[in-house]
């Protein structure tokens, strides 16, 4: 069983970031950034506040065009892709935004059904069943008729994940998945991420600075630094913590503030 492959060449990297510079207005956030994510890999982008983690994620999902360089998702440069191609690639990935970004006027079921109804031509009952199963994946079965305002932040986040999972994306992007969650819910989310990765071989790019999550889920960490405006280390989180001699890497992994 293999994962869906949107690009023509054999087992290409689903995400390739090549010499990318990003910024807002006059402000350059990261420069000459390059990394790639292999199929089925969980890569965490980490670093202190303001280092550009979320900016990189926005660029990779095609919401912020790079100043320089290119970003390929399934081999497609989102900044230069045509409408049709963009829509096709976007359907192959799911995004969990920091705030969840559920539509407040719709119930959970309607939120999750939103991408599904468009992609799969199913009768009402099967669609409902599928939606409930997606909610069950994030332990929210039974809550389908709730509005986002009627649930806690953690539940909203899980529901948003169910929506991101709706189309069985081959890539999942997470922006600070544990932000605003209690440690137990956060650990549950980590477990869910691993389970999805194993069951579906989903490639994941996760922005977080939660060390516990990083150790639990990351195959590789891309560590960014504000002053360096780019990557200061890439690798297995445990190895980086134990072996890296870079004081900035040590500061991050040992929660040691700079003097």
Partner 1 sequence: MLHRRHRDGYQISLQGPPGGAQTLRLSGRLNLQAMGHLLAQFKRVLEPTPPASLTVELSGVQYLDSGGALALNLLSEQAAQRQVPLKLEGLGPQGQQMLALVRPDRLAPPMPPPTPRPGNFIENLGVGALRLLDDLVEVVAFVGSLARALALVARRPSVLRWRDVELYMERVGVDGLPIVALISFLLGLIMAFMSAIQLKHFGANIYVADLVAVAMVRELGPIMTAVLVAGRSGSAFAAEIGTMVVNQEVDALKVMGFDITVFLAMPKIVAALLMVPLLILFSDLLAIVGGMIIGVTYLDLTVYSYVQHTLGALSVGAITSGALKGVVFAFLIGGIGCQRGLAVAGGAEGVGRATTSAVVAGMFLIVVADSIFAIVQYYL
Residues near partner 1 (CB under 8 A) are: 1-4, 104-105, 107, 116, 119-123, 126, 129-130, 132-134, 136-137, 141-150, 167-168, 195, 198-201
**Element holding 21 (H helix, E strand):** strand 15-24
Give the nearest distance from C-beta 184 to partner 1 in angstroms: 20
Nearest to 124 by CA among 110, 137, 138, 103: 110
Nearest to 75 by CA among 12, 4, 168, 19: 12
Give the nearest distance from C-beta 54 to partner 1 in angstroms: 18
E-state strands within 84-235? 93-96, 171-175, 203-207, 220-225, 230-235
Q: Which is nearer to partner 1, 28 or 137 (CB)?
A: 137
Give the nearest distance from C-beta 165 to partner 1 in angstroms: 8
Q: Which is nearer to partner 1, 34 or 105 (CB)?
A: 105
Give the nearest distance from C-beta 189 to partner 1 in angstroms: 16
Q: Which is nearer to partner 1, 30 or 140 (CB)?
A: 140
Give the nearest distance from C-beta 169 to partner 1 in angstroms: 10
Q: Which is nearer to partner 1, 63 or 103 (CB)?
A: 103
Residue with tokens 């503030």: 257
Query: Residue 259 is encoded by which pair of tokens?
Result: 């003097």
Q: Which is nearer to partner 1, 67 or 88 (CB)?
A: 88
Q: Kindly list the strands in the beta sheet with 230-235, ordered across the sheet, starting from the edge strand earlier in the chain.
A: 93-96, 171-175, 203-207, 42-46, 220-225, 230-235
Residues shown for the chain:
259
């Amino acid at each position: 069983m293999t994962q869906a492959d949107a690009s023509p060449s054999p087992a290409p990297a689903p995400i390739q970031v090549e010499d990318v510079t990003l910024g807002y207005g006059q402000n350059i956030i990261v420069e000459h950034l390059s990394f790639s994510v292999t199929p089925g890999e969980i890569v965490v982008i980490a670093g202190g506040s303001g280092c550009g983690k979320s900016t990189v994620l926005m660029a990779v999902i095609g919401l912020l065009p790079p100043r320089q360089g290119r970003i390929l998702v399934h081999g497609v440069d989102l900044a230069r892709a045509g409408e049709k191609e963009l829509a096709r690639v976007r359907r192959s990935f799911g995004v969990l935004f920091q705030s969840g970004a559920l539509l407040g006027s719709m119930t959970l079921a309607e939120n999750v059904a939103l991408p599904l109804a468009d992609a799969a031509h199913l009768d009402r009952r099967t669609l409902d069943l599928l939606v409930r199963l997606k909610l069950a994946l994030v332990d929210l079965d039974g809550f389908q008729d709730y509005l986002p305002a009627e649930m806690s932040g953690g539940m909203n986040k899980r529901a948003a994940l169910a929506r991101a999972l709706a189309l069985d994306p081959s890539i999942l992007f997470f922006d600070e998945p544990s932000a605003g969650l209690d440690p137990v819910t956060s650990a549950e989310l980590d477990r869910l991420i691993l389970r999805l990765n194993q069951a579906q071989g989903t490639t994941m790019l996760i922005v977080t600075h939660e060390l516990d999550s990083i150790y639990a889920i990351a195959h590789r960490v891309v560590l960014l630094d504000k002053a360096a405006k780019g990557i200061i280390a890439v690798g297995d989180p445990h190895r980086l913590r134990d072996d890296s001699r870079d004081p900035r890497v040590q500061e991050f992994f040992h929660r040691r503030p700079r003097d």
